[in-house]
Structure 1
Amino acid sequence: MTFKKAVGKLHLWLGLSSGLVVFIVSLTGAIFTFQDEIRDATQSWRKVEVPAQPTPMLLPSRLQALTEQQHPGLKAAFFMLMGPDRSAVVYTTDKQGHYFATALNPYTGQELGHLDLREDFFSIIQELHMHLLLPEEIGGNVVGVAVLIFVVMLVTGIIMWWPKRKTDRKRSFTIKWGARWRRVNYDLHNVLGFYAASIALLLALTGLMMSYEWVLNSVYLVSNGGQSYPAEKTPPTVDTLQTVTAPTLPVADSFYQQIRRGSPTAKMIFLGLPTSPKQPVYSIAYERALYYYHRDEYYFHPVSGQLLKSIPHVSKSNGQKIADVNYDLHTGQAFGLGGKIVAFLGSLISASLPVTGFMVWWGKRNKPKKKRSREAVAAA
């Protein structure tokens, strides 16, 4: 068996074993790419009108009180404060641990929208993309293994596609639209797969960084030239033996005001709330709304509200900055609208590859036998 035939067998069986998962993950990834744009177009409550006269935004404790008063039985878990022209979102949980999102006007406290995230379309798409709607540990591993296989298939596909002779290159780079459907399907699989390979590989690798800590740590170490910086990766501990007193204002407001002082230009804030007196409260200040790269990170004491540790973006290593930009790379938004379009098309083509590949295999298995020639019949 030649090397290319062995690669072809590997490509075939890996494709048959992972094709359905790759199709689902790629298609849901394409849908999720423009989730912010689609939400803005269909959910008017995501944006608010900025008051003509300077008006201070309501403090988190007030937003929390209004939400919990309006929805008895729900308890605030964290906030997303999206900026001056966007609603403030309070995320809550019920006793069963189900999440809800309540959007409020940050200036008046008026409730603008309320979502049960179990029924939210893009939340379902995200869960399908990441876990196939299975339990997180099981679904995450199934998706992770399928994406690992997909990376191998991209490499083996390029090896199989690579033309032997220079004269074959033009044919290998173009789709012969006027040919029979089997040939068109073959070209769609090979040619589109080649053109999308680099984008698909980037999407797959950034997805693996979310699925597997060992992939994230490997990228981190390579980006830092083998150096590790534990200070930026290790959260502080809470000294439970130390006697502390609660701040004079609610802890959420204390966290928020300290973040505002530390990151005065931040447009979006993820604000956590205490879950245990033994665990620090984690919060993030983002330089731009709906972009997750440029971030300052904060850890607070859950009782006293004291700042335990801050990690400004400017102090982070190259490896940590790459880890921070991973989501924006995965969705294409690191490069703006053009990047999202490229990620969308790359995801669609990735979703098509298992389909066209299966049709190539099925067509070869069910290829009609050639009719015997007249000479063979005459000789019989």
Structure 2
Amino acid sequence: MTVKQAVGKVHLWLGLASGLVVFIVSLTGAIFVFQDEIRDLTEPWRKVEAQATAQLLPSRLQEAALVKHPEVKKATTWVTYFGPERSATVFFTDPAGTPTQVYLNPYTGRVLHEQNLRYHFFSIVQAIHMTLLLPEAVAKWVVGGSVIIFVVMLVTGLVLWWPKRKQERKQRLTIKWGARWRRVNYDLHNVLGFYAASIAAVLALTGLFMVFPGLLDSAVLVANGGREYPQEKDVAKVDTLQAVTAANQPVPDLVYRTVRRRSPQAEMVLIGPTGMGKAPAYCWAYQRTLHYYHRDDYAFHPVSGEVLQARFHTSKSNGGKLSDMNYDLHTGQILGLGGKIVAFLASLISASLPVTGTVLWWGRKQKSKKARKHPKPLVTR
């Protein structure tokens, strides 16, 4: 058995083992890529008319959002400002475990819509994409393991695709649409797989970084040239033994005012729960709405509102910036609409590879059976 034949065997059996998971994950990923654009068209409550007045403080939005939910504590909610022409949201999970998102006009506090995210289409698509609706501990290895296999498949596929002679390259780069369907299927698998391989690898690796944080840490170390930045790993802590003076205003309001002052260019501001005094209150300020790469990170004392930690994008290492851009790389939105289109096409092609590969394997299997059943007669002279 030659090396290429051995690689072919590995490619075949790994593909059959992971094909179904790769198909589902890739297809749901393709659907999810344009979720913001689709939701902006189908959910009018996501947009508001910009006004010259300042947007309301978080405590006012929390109060308005929880009128129908008195059992939910303000300190457990997430408040997000998405910019001057978008509604603000208050997210919480009620005592029954229902994840709820309330959309409000940030200038008036009027509730525009309340959404149960458990049954939202894109929430379900995202859950399937990330876990296949399996328990998280199981999904980590089923989905993560299959994506690792997919990366290996991309490498072995390139080895199998690589032509021995230069004159064969043109043939390997085009699809013969006028040929028989088996040949077209073969070309779809090989040619499209080649064109999508590099983008598919980026999508797969960035997805693995979310599943296995240790892999992301390794990528960050490589991006930093092997240099460590301990300050970027420091976790803000609350000294519960130290007596502090309570803030003279709601902590979320103090957090919001501080972040608006220190990160004035931020379009999107996400304020986390203030907790019960034991954990810091976190806030993230993003330069662009619905983009998660360029961000400043804050941690506040949940009682006094004192700034415990402030980490600005401009001061982060290359590895830190790489970590921040991981989601935008995974969805393609790091390059705007064009990047999303590329990610969408690469995801569709990735979903097609297990299908065309299985058809290719099945056809060869049937051909082999026929050959064994009807052997060629011996010709004698």
1:1-380 map, 5 Å: 1-51=1-51, 54-76=52-74, 77-367=77-367, 369=370, 376=377
Percent identity, aligned pairs only, is 61
Which deviations, in whole Å up to 9, do the C-alpha atoms of 1:259-297 show, x marking residues without a partner? Answer: 111101110001012224221111100011111111000
Q: Which amino acid aligns with 1:281?
A: A
- Deviation of 1:156 (Å): 0.2
Query: Residue type matched to 1:224 in 2?
Result: N
Deviations 1:222-270 (A, max 9, x none): 0111111121122111111100121111111011111111101110001
Counterpart CA distance in 2 for 1:142 and 1:378 is 53
CA distance in 1, matches of 2:122, 2:246: 39
Q: How many angstroms apart in 1 are the aligned matches of 2:138 and 2:306?
A: 38
Judge which range, 1-10 or 93-102, deviates more. 93-102
Q: Does the CA-based 8 Å contact 1:75-1:92 persist in structure 2?
A: no
SS at match of 1:283: strand
Gaps of 5+ in 2: none
Q: Deviations over 1:102-143 (max 9, x none)?
A: 000001111111111101111111111111111222212211
- TM-score normalised according to structure 2 size: 0.95
Aligned letter for 1:24? I
The whole-number CA distance in structure 2 between the counterparts of 1:207 and 1:238 is 32
Instruction: Kindly provide the CA deviation profile for residues 29-87 of structure 1, in whole angstroms up to 9, marking residues without a partner as x.
Output: 10110011001000000000113xx2121110010011111334344521111011100
In 2, the alpha carbon distance for the partners of 1:363 and 1:281 equals 59
Partner-residue secondary structure (3-state), 2:200? helix
What is the alpha-carbon distance in structure 1 between the residues aligned to residue 73 and residue 123 of structure 2? 20
After TM superposition, the runs of 4+ consecutive aligned structure 1 residues lying more than 6 A away are: none
Return the offset for 1:169: 1.5
Structure 1: gaps of 5 or more residues:
none
* 3-state secondary structure, aligned to 2:235: coil
Deviations 1:9-28 (A, max 9, x none): 11111111111110111001
Q: Per the alignment, in what secondary structure is the counterpart of residue 242 of structure 1?
A: coil
Say if 1:299 and 1:309, in contact at 8 Å, map to a contact too.
yes
Secondary structure of the equivalent of 1:113? strand
- Offset of 1:210 from its aligned partner? 1.0
Q: Distance in 2 between matches of 1:90 and 1:8?
A: 52
Q: State whether residues 144 and 211 of structure 1, in contact with CA within 8 Å, keep that contact through their aligned partners in structure 2.
A: yes
Question: Size of the alignment, in residue pairs?
Answer: 376
Give how far 1:182 is off. 1.1
SS at match of 1:366: helix
Conserved in 2, the CA contact under 8 Å of 1:75 and 1:94?
A: no
Cα distance change, pair 377–154 in 1 and its aligned pair in 2 (3 A):
closer
SS where residue 97 of structure 1 aligns? Answer: coil
| Contact 1:75/1:93 (8 A) holds in 2 | no
Q: Distance in 2 between matches of 1:249 and 1:219?
A: 42
Query: 91-100 or 281-290: which moved more?
Result: 91-100
Q: What amino acid is the match of 2:339? A: G
Change in Cα spacing, 1:208 to 1:378, as seen in structure 2 (3 Å) is closer
**Counterpart contact for 1:207–1:330, Cα < 8 Å:** yes
The separation in 2 between residues aligned to 1:60 and 1:3, in whole angstroms, is 63
Local SS of the residue matching 1:80:
strand
1:377 is displaced (CA, Å) by 9.2
Q: Secondary structure at the match of 1:369?
A: helix
**Take 2:242 and 2:144, find their aligned partners in 1: how far apart are those partners?**
43
Cα distance in 2 for residues equivalent to 1:190 and 1:151: 15
Quote the Cα distance in structure 2 between the aligned partners of 1:309 and 1:376: 82
| SS of alignment partner, residue 208 of structure 2 | helix
- In the alignment, the residues of structure 2 paired with residue 378 and residue 299 of structure 1 have an alpha-carbon distance, to the nearest angstrom, of 84
